[in-house]
Structure formats: structure tokens, C-alpha cells
Amino acid sequence: MSKIVEGFSKLTKEEKIDWLVTHYFNDNKKSVQVLKTYWNTDVQLQKLHEEFAENTISNYYLPFSIAPNFLINDRQYALPMTIEESSVVAAASKAAKFWLQRGGFTAEVLNTEKVGQVHFTFDGAYKDLLTFFEKHKNHFFTGTKDLTANMEKRGGGILDIQLMDKSASIPGYYQLHCTFQTVDAMGANFINSCLERFADILLTESKNYMFFKEHKITVIMSILSNYVPNCIVKAQVSCAIKDLPNTNKLSSLGYAEKFKQAVDIAMVEPYRAVTHNKGIMNGIDALVLATGNDFRAVEAGVHAFAARDGVYKSLTNVTLTDDTFTFSIEIPLALGTVGGLTSLHPLVKLALELLQHPNAEELMQITAVAGLAQNFAAINSLITTGIQQGHMKMHLMNILNSLQASPTEKEKAITYFKKEPVSYSKAVSLLETLRN
């Protein structure tokens, strides 16, 4: 029988590592050396990082990169991106430069409504529950004034609370479906605090009625939703079809039509749509992570939105009208520029400075553009040279590092692969030739 480790979180960092050395690491000396190599020499900064999470023993580094030349709503940006995939930043930068010369990107926030729910069961009649709710609805607003005061000063707060009958799906299941405006904060803690107070008010008010002594309310949970279909941003680019790429193999019109076909396929074929949208999220996640936002919440909400009609499909769209090519994205993004890591992590603060201190709506617009640019770059490669040519060129350095190539060998390999397709086997063969 496995033995439970008691009090692990109370051990010091050194003690945690000693425990791992005893139970898991094979090469103890090397393992400890790797962990300590990534400790920050600035003691205070290291302590700050360790307090972001539980049981920290080291830091896990990802590249902090810049994609320049983004023109968004007539304002130029250099986008911070935190990602380990080698071709993403290059692709975003290439797309940004292409559209900078064609008027740039436009973006607008359509709505910023966020959602939370109190899930509960009730074994009485819905009409009686509804009568009670309508009579006491105002109490949910007045009973949370201490929680909402500061948010209301900034222009946010509770927007609405609705009683939802879900008993057709699960017998006796109901919910308070609540909407919020959190302004420049992502707002998770604010929303969850309000929801838990709503649950307390629901139970307290119901105890004052004899009716509820026979028909009981049981609160299951109170939690925000990461599905925010009414927290929407739209971004697009547009140009004359004649201004699109034109080669001997593919005319500008042929390019536009083939591009549209590629997006249309992702509208009807889920197998393609998932990879299509993953490419969009390459750009979005990298910027969300760099700005200290919750990329996991964004991912979950975005993919739910992509399947909102019952079929998973593309988040981007193409129209060809009056000799004009328009490429657009409409996407839910619940982001914040205050609170959380935005005021704690030094690189997050730097990222927001690079973006010229955006508010939440501006960050939503910039992030949607990052996703659109990434998708444009991917489709451009797919319909012309193929995805692997550019991707493997960018991946070359990873291959060379894995083969422990010297600086001289790397230089010769880069020169060689300027004219040759990149592959792992070819890199191995080249290094063997150079070394012999």
C-alpha cells in the first residue's frame, strides 16, 4: 500500500528537494543542479515567484519574445509573447508586417458581460420558487453592497440575476444565473465572492418562510463560468484582392479564393477546425500568458464558443465582395489589466508597459488581433509553400541543440539548410559529415 506524504507543503524548499532525491531522482547530483540552475539570484524575486504557487522548488522558464509591426486601430504596437513553439512569433511578425502595408488591423469590443452561477436543488414547485425569487431579488443586490462598492466606483458591478429552471435536465436542479461587469479586472475573485454571498442570502431568506420547511433548498456550489459568450471582441483586416500575394503559381484572385476555401473547410470539418483554432490560440495564449492572464480559462471559453451551434467550427471567417478580401475573427475574451499577476510579476508589468498600458477592452482587441494574425500566417503557408517549410526552418535550432552542435556547426548548418528542406535525419547526416 502506498504511503501518504504528510506535511509536504510545510517543508522548506531544500527539504522538498531532499525528499524528491530520496524517492524519485535517479541522478541525484545532476537533478539538484538543474533545479538550482533556474533559481533566481535575486533572493526577493525568487521569493516572489515561489509565492505564486504551492510546493515550488524551482522556476520553469519560457521565452519572452516580441512580435513587432502590429498596426491596430491606427496605433502601432510591439506584442509581447510568451511561448516555446519556435515558429509562432516569426509567423505573427510576418503577418503583422504584411498587413501594416495594407492599413493594419481594426478591432472593437462588442460586449464585456461576464457570468457566474449559484447551482442549487429544490424539491417544490417552480412557480412557488419563482414567486419567492421575484419578491426577494432586490435583496441579492442590497446584501452585497459591501462587496460591490469599489467595483461600482470603477463603473462595474452586478448587472442582473435570473432564476433558471434546469429541472428538465436534472430533477430539482435550478440556478441563479448572474451577469457582471468587472471593468479592467478579470474579476474571478469578485464574481465568486458575490456568488457565495448570493447563496447565503438565498438560504437565509428562504428560512423565513414555512413553505421552505417542507420544500428544501440545497446549494450545490457557487462559481463563475469561463464561458463568456457575451464578452466578445471582433478584429479584422481588409484589402483589395489585387493587393494579395501574386505569383506565377497563384494569382491574387486565386490566392483569395483558395484562402477562403481553407477557412470554409474549417467551418464544416471539425478535424480541421480544431487544428485551425489551435493555431489561433498559439497567438492568443502567448499574449495572454505574457500579460499575466489566465490562458486556461481563455482556452476553455473560446473552444466552447467555437462549438456553440452544436458543431465545432472555425473562429475566423473570410468574405470576398466587390473585389475586396476581408478576414475576421469574433471571439470571447475575459481579460484583465489590474489585479493578480498584473501588479506582481515584473515581466507582466513590463509586457503591459510595452502595450502602452492598455485597459481591459484594449487588451481584448490586441489579443484578438494576435489570434487573427497567427491564423493568417498559418493559412498563408498552408495554401502556398506548405506548413513544414517555414516551421522546420524555425525548428532547426532546436534540432541542432538536441544534437549538441557546436557554434561553428550551427553556423554551417544554417547556411546549408537555407537551400535544403529541414529534417532531423538530414541534420544528423550533416553533423556526421562535418565531424568526420
Distance CA 231, CA 117 (A): 16
Tell me if 220 sits within 8 A of 121, measured CB to CB: yes
C-alpha grid cell for residue 52?
505564486
| Torsion sign (Cα): 237, 238, 243, 249 | positive
Contacts of 374 (CB under 8 A, 6+ apart): 88, 91, 92, 95, 279, 280, 282, 283, 284
Active site residue 294: yes
**54: β partners:** none
Distance CA 314, CA 277 (A): 6
Q: Phi/psi class of residue 77: alpha, beta or left (left: φ > 0; alpha: ψ in -120 to 50)?
A: beta
Place of cell 502595450: 355
Active site residue 278: yes
The one catalytic residue in 16, 18, 50, 85 is 85
Active site residue 412: no
Active site residue 243: no
The one catalytic residue in 294, 313, 361, 395 is 294
The one catalytic residue in 119, 276, 345, 391 is 391
Contacts of 422 (CB under 8 A, 6+ apart): 392, 393, 395, 396, 399
The one catalytic residue in 16, 278, 349, 393 is 278
Distance CA 283, CA 378 (A): 11
Tell me if 416 sits within 8 A of 109, measured CB to CB: no
**324: β partners:** 240, 321
Known catalytic residues? 85, 278, 294, 391
